[in-house]
Chains A and B, each alone.
Chain A
Amino acid sequence: MTPSEWGVLAAGIAGIAWVNWYFFLAGKANAGATVMPDQQRETG
C-alpha cells in the first residue's frame, strides 16, 4: 500500500468512528446537558 492509501485508510477509520460517536454518543450526552441547566435555574 502506498502512503496515500495508508492515509485514506486511517482517515476512513477515523471518519467512521467520528460519525458513530457524533450521531450515537455525543447526541445523547448533549441531550442530557441541554436539560440540566434549565432545571438547575428553576430550582435555584
Chain B
Amino acid sequence: MSAHMIDSTAASPPLDETQRVTLSVTGMTCAACQSHVQHALQKQPGVVDANVNLMTHQATVAYDPQRSDPPALIAAIQSSGYGASLPASEQTAVDQQEAQDRAARQEYVELRRKAVVSLLVGIVAMVLSMPLMTGGGHEHAGSVTDPFMRWVMEAINPTLAAWLPWLYTINPQILSYILLAATAAIMGWAGRHFYTRAWAAFRHHAADMNTLIAVGTGAAFLFSAAATLLPGFFVSRGIAADVYYEAVIIIIALVLFGNMLEARAKGNTSSALRKLIGLQPKTAKVMRDDQELDIEIKDVQHGDVVVVRPGERIPVDGEIISGASTVDESMLTGESLPVEKRPGDEVIGGTMNRTGSFRYSATTLGADSVLAQIVKLMREAQGSRAPIQRLADQVSSVFVPIVLSIAIATFTLWYILAETAPLVQAMAAAVAVLIIACPCAMGLAVPTAVMVSTGKGAELGILIKGGEALQKAQELRTIVFDKTGTLTEGKPAVTDIVLNSSRAAELSEDRLLTLVASLERASEHPLAEAIVKHATERALPLQEPVAFEALSGRGAVATIDGAAVAIGNRVLMSELTVEATPLAADAERLAADGKTPMFVAVDGQLAGLIAVADPIKPTSAAAMRRLQQMGLEVIMLTGDNRRTAEAIAARAGITQVIADVLPQGKVDQVKRLQATGKVVAMVGDGINDAPALAQADIGIAVGSGTDVAIEASDITLMRGDLQGVVAAIALSRRTMKTMQQNLFWAFIYNAVCIPVAAGVLYPVAGILLSPILASLAMALSSTSVVMNSLRLRRFQPS
C-alpha cells in the first residue's frame, strides 16, 4: 500500500457530504476530560471535526456518513470512559436544556451522597487509626510524618483515649484489616469513577484529573495494604509499617465534595437559561369548536385561537385578533415598561399579560418560537469557546504528565534526602503533589465566565453569540452607528410644508400634499411612508400614480391626475432643470434643524418643500456620552445629506459623521475604518445593515429578535435602547477581566502549591503539606474559580 493511496483516502470529504450530530456526553469533569473525549472522537475513522464542550456536556461531530455513524461515535466516547447518548430528534432547545438540567441535578445528588458517606467513613477511619498512630508498643507503631495527622493526633488523642479506652485495647492487626476493608469499599463505590476513567484515559495514552486522584490514592492504598498484609517485610528492613487508609478515604471524600460544590456552582452559571425556560407555560387555553379548552403547549397548532386573561403568561407566539392589553416583555427584551398591545400586534410566548384580556392566533410554535430560538442561541453561546481559552487548553494538554513527572521526582529526592523514615516521607510528598495539582480550575476559568456572562446579558435583553464575540467586544476601539432606526426612532413624520410663494395661489398645502402622497404611495422609502401617513391623517383623497419611477439616491417622479410631479433632493431638481433657489434658504434652515427637506416640482416648476424628521431616541445622547467616556470613538454613518446628518449627530453628541453614503457603501466605510487598524463595531437595525454588520468585527443588531437579525449580528439587543450597547461592551470588559483573573489564579495556584506540596519550603521553613490538606486545597481551587465567575451575575450596566 503506497503512502499516496493512504493520503488520497485520508482526505476530508466535501463539506456537503458530511453529516453533523450533537451527542450528550456524561462524566466529564475537567479540561483534560474534554480534550480526552475530543481526541477519542477525532481518532475515529470518518470524523471530520469534533467539538466537545465541558459546560454543556455536548459533543458536536461532523462525520462522513460512508465511514461512520452516531452509534460508532457513541461507542468511541464510551470506550474512552465516558457516557454518551443521542438527544431525541424531536426535542426543542428547551427540552434539551431541561433534560440536561435533570441529569446535572442527578449527578449533584449522587456526588453529595457519595461525599457525605465517604466523609463519615473517613472520620470513623481517622478515629480507628489513632491507636495505630500512637503505637502502644505494637509492630505498626511509627513516626507520624504527615503534619496534619500529627496535629489531629495531638489534639484528639488524649480525649479519645479518655472516652473510648476500649479502642486502644483492640488488636492493631484487626484494626488494620477493618480499615483496609473500609478503604477498599469506599474506593470501589464512591471513588470507582476515578479509577475507571483514569484507566480508560490511560489506555488511550491520555491523563486527566482522575489519573492524579487514582495514582495518588492508589499508591497510598497499595503501600498501606502491603504494610497490613506483610508487616514483617517492612519491619525487617527498618521501615515503619504505617498505614494511610484514613488519608485515602478523606482525600476521596474531599475531592467528591469539591466536585459536588463545583457541580452546584456550575449549575448556577446556567440559572439565567433556566429562568428563561421557566417562562414557558405548560398549557394554553385554546378555542376549539367554540369551546375553551386547556391543552398542552405541544398540542397547540398554527392558527389556533388562544385566549389570554389578565395576569396569565402568554403561552405561544402569535398575533392579536381581538381585545387589548399591556404586556410585560421585560423577561425577554429587558424593557422595564409594559408594552401596549392591540389587534394586529405580535405577542411573544413566555411574556406576562398584565391588564386586559385578548384572543390571538398562534403563529410560530415549538422549536421556531422566539423563546426556543433565544434558548437555542444561549445554549450555543454558552457552549462556545473564547479565543483566550486556547492558552488554558495548551497547558491542560501537557499538565497531568508533567505533574506525574514532578511527583516521581519528588518521591526520588525525598527518598534520597530525608533523614528519617525516607520511604514514608517520600510517599507522603509525592501523593500530596498528585492530589494538590488541579487541572480543573484551568478548564473552568473561561467557560464558566462565558456562561454566566451570556446568561446575564440575556437577562438584560442582550443576546451575545458566544465567547469570541465577548472577547472581541472588549477590544473595540471604534463604534459606528446607523442613523435611521438606530440613533433615531425610525418613525419619520412630516414636520413642515413650505409652499413656493409664487405658486401659492394655484397650489394649496392640501393639494401639494395630495399630489406628493399619491406619488409616494408607490414608493417603499421610509420617508415616503411618512408623507402618505400624514396625508391619510388629514383624510386627503389619494390617487393612483402613473409612470412612477424611483430614482435611487435622488427621489421619485410620476404623473398624478395629469400633472407631472417630482419629489427629491436638489440634484433631482437640477436634472429636471427646476430652479430650486427660491426655497434653498428654507431647505438649509430645515436641514440645520436635523430635518430632511425634499423639493417638490409640479409640471416642471418648483411647488414647495416638504420636510420630514425622525426624532432621536430619548436615551441616544446619554448612551453616546457614556461610550465616549469609555474611550470609544463614536461615528454616525448615514445615507442622509450632510447638513441633516450633522444636526442629528450634534443632538446625539456625536462629532464624527459619515454622510451621503448609499446602502451598499456602508460596507466600504466599515472596511476603510478596519484598514486603519481599528477594531470596529457596527450598530444597525439588522436588516438593511446586515452586510455592514457582517463586515464589522462586532455586528450589533438593535431592537429586533428576528432570525435575520440574530444571524447577521454578533450581539442582538432585544430592545431599541442604545444603553444596551453600553451595557454589552461593559459586560464584555468585565467578563474578560473575570476570565483573566480566573486563569491567573488557576495558574498561580498550581505554580505555587505543587512546589510547596513537593516540599521545597521544608529545608528553609520546615513546611510540609499533608495529602489531606492538599485535597482540601484542590477542592477549593476549582470551586473558587466558578464562584469568581458567578460574581458576574451581580453585573449592573450603570
Spell out A's residues near B (CB within 8 Å): 1, 5, 8-9, 11-13, 15-16, 19-20, 22-24, 26-27, 30-31, 34-36, 38-40, 42-44
Contacts and interface: CB of A to CB of B under 8 A. Distances in A.
B422 to A, nearest CB: 8
B1 A8 contact: no
Interface residues of B, number: 25
Closest 7 CB pairs of A and B: A27-B205, A12-B412, A23-B401, A38-B45, A15-B408, A16-B405, A39-B9
A35 B206 CA distance: 17
Nearest to A17: B405
Contacts of A20: 401, 405
Contact of A27 (B204, B405, B412, B415): B204
Majority secondary structure of chain B interface residues (helix, strand, loop or mixed): helix
Contacts of A19: 401, 404-405, 408
A16 B682 CA distance: 54
Nearest to A40: B1
Given A12-B408, A23-B206, A40-B6, 6 more contacts: A12-B409, A12-B412, A31-B43, A35-B43, A40-B5, A43-B8
B411 A12 contact: yes
A27 B400 CA distance: 14
Contacts of A15: 408
Contacts of B794: none
B10 interface: yes
Contact of A35 (B5, B45, B415): B45
B412 A26 contact: no
Contacts of B10: 35, 39
A36 B408 contact: no
A6 to B, nearest CB: 9
Given A23-B401, A39-B10, A39-B45, A5 B416 contact: yes
A19 B404 CA distance: 7
Given A16-B408, A19-B408, A1 B43 contact: no
B6 A22 contact: no
A1 B206 contact: no
A5 B419 CA distance: 13
Which of A8, A36, A40 is packed against the most chain B CB atoms within 10 Å? A8
B405 A43 contact: no
Interface in B366-416: 398, 400-401, 404-405, 408-409, 411-412, 415-416
Interface string B29-63: 00000000001000101000000000000000000
Contacts of B463: none
A38 B529 CA distance: 66
A34 B40 CA distance: 11
A43 B206 contact: no
Given A19-B401, A30-B205, A36-B6, A44 B1 contact: yes
Given A16-B405, A22-B205, A35-B43, A43 B411 contact: no
A40 B8 CA distance: 11
Nearest to A7: B415
Contacts of A12: 408-409, 411-412
A5 to B, nearest CB: 5
Contacts of B400: 23
A2 to B, nearest CB: 9
A40 B43 CA distance: 15
Contacts of A5: 415-416
A4 B733 CA distance: 57
Nearest to B211: A23
Contacts of B1: 40, 43-44
A27 B404 contact: no
